[in-house]
Amino acid sequence: MAGGVATWYLLRSHPVVQAPPQRAAAPAPATTAPPPAEIVPVPAPVPESPAPVETPKPATPAPATGQRKKVRVAKPATLPAPAAPAPSPRAQEIASLQNQARDAYAKGNYAEPPAANSIALLKQALALDPANSYAKTLLEDSANGGKYQVQQAIVQKDFVAAHRVADALAQLLPGRRDIAGLKEDIASAERADAEARRPKPAAPLVAFRAYHMHSEKAPADHGPYCLGMLSVAAGHLKFVGQSASEGQRIDTLDIACSEVREIKKNARVASRQNGFHVRTASTNINFVPENSIAAYVSALAFACTK
């Protein structure tokens, strides 16, 4: 009931507004149609040749994942090579010297002959170009080749050739210790060769220590003497003194067995010590074995007659 009263009150206080009626649209003013225009005949257009239709190129498929796309690069045009500058006279001379040195090296002409060996030619090239690495390398190889030739000559005992090549190397490369050492090698080899060629002393057929009597008085009786080694070897009877009694000389004797006429035990002089004598056409020499063994006398006589 109360709700209805309120509604009524509101309706009386605020009247309902109605929409205005719609008016009919005014008719458009009439217009007079213009007179028809004069019709001018137009010639028919000449049909043009149809433009060529370009066939679309198939699209290049995209490269698969992980594959590089090939890119075609146009080949560059071939250009003529630039003209090489003419070598200088100095460069030509260096090249000529190096070629000559290479030929000499191939022939083994490292230090000989004079002025036509590889070392001499390479030194000329280095005088023109001190920084030339090819000339430096070939020069060192040539020096080693010369040293090898010297060593080979030493092995073959051709000491004349060894000296000749070593002298040539020393003249071409002065002051080098390895070249100077070649002379020492040659001298050492020459000494060894001379020693090998020296005849070896023959082994003695008989040898023993004996007194060489300086008088007819026996050493046992305090007679003067010198003591040494008595032997027979290579057809010679030899005595080499080693010591002597007071005031006596030390003798060395060498008598060819062909000159010996007799080797015999003494009947009187130092006979108790088995003294014996060696007689030649010009002298008679008395000996006494140090140990007084009588067998030495016959052994000595036998050896000197062989």
pLDDT tens column, 10-46: 445 444 444 444 434 434 434 334 444 444 444 444 4
pLDDT tens column, 83-118: 667 789 999 999 999 999 999 999 999 999 998 999
Picking from 167, 164, 176, the residue whose alpha carbon sits closest to that of residue 139 is 176
How far is 2 from 111, CA to CA, in rounded Å?
148
pLDDT of residue 278: 97
Sheet of 236-244: strand order equals: 252-256, 236-244, 225-233, 206-213, 284-289, 276-280, 260-265
How many other β-carbons are positioned within 10 Å of the β-carbon of residue 126? 16
pLDDT of residue 138: 96
Mean pLDDT of all residues in 195-215: 89
How far is 299 from 249, CA to CA, in rounded Å?
27
Q: What's the CATH number for 206-304?
A: 2.30.29.30
Q: Which residue has the higher pLDDT, 175 or 87?
A: 175
pLDDT band of residue 199 (cuts 50, 70, 90) is: confident
Q: Which fold has domain 89-197?
A: 1.25.40
Residues of the chain with CATH 1.25.40: 89-197
End-to-end CA distance of the chain: 188
Residues of the chain with CATH 2.30.29.30: 206-304
Q: Which residue has the higher pLDDT, 204 or 252?
A: 252
DSSP state letter for 298: H
pLDDT of residue 24: 41
